[in-house]
Amino acid sequence: MLFKERKLKGVYEIQLEPKEDNRGFFMRAYDEHIFHEHGLHRDWVQENHSLSVYKGTVRGFHFQFPPAAETKLVRVISGEIFDVFVDLRKGSPTFGQWDSIILSPQNKKLLYIPRGFAHGMCTLMDNSTMLYKVDNYFTPEKEGNIQWNDPDLRVPWPVTGTPIISEKDSKAKSFKDFVKTYGGIEL
């Protein structure tokens, strides 16, 4: 596994290294010892599986407030996803900034997103499946949501036509409202 810190401190792109032969490949998708060596070991308590049937499905931006804040380890096992993460950490030098990555089975990348980030994604293909581990249990009353198409964040979503979004995401707060109300996530 090759670890590369992204432009937002604490976020890591992890390149998996398959061993291939005429049968296919074998690769380690997680190794507690290797993550521990990189200072990224977490006690994963839940693994979530998300299927988006249609290209152009947008989910997010989702996060949880402390003490239910989550670190995520994200992987795509079918299709292709434009994955976006926004720094909401109060006092962070990159507060309000975002970064993105394409995740797919072909590029064999994982994304490690620490606590204090909002997470969103857009499917680039039909039948896109995401698996992600979290280090905290989902707590509905601690859930937060910011508009996926917030004009202040200006994420260039790769959506042609009308995106497919949930009712909950269509009613999310703006980034300005989040900042005005909370000022950020205090970890």
Catalytic residues, by residue number, are 62, 132
Name the 3-class secondary structure at 143: strand
First to last CA, the chain: 28
Query: How many Å separate Cα 93 from the centre of its chain?
Result: 20
Cα–Cα distance, 144 to 16 (Å, whole number): 31
* Residue 48, H or E segment: strand 46-52
Burial 105-118 (b: 16+ CB within 10 A, else e): eeebbbbbbbbbbb
Cα–Cα separations (whole angstroms), residue 59 to 7, 45, 95, 107, 122:
22, 22, 21, 21, 7
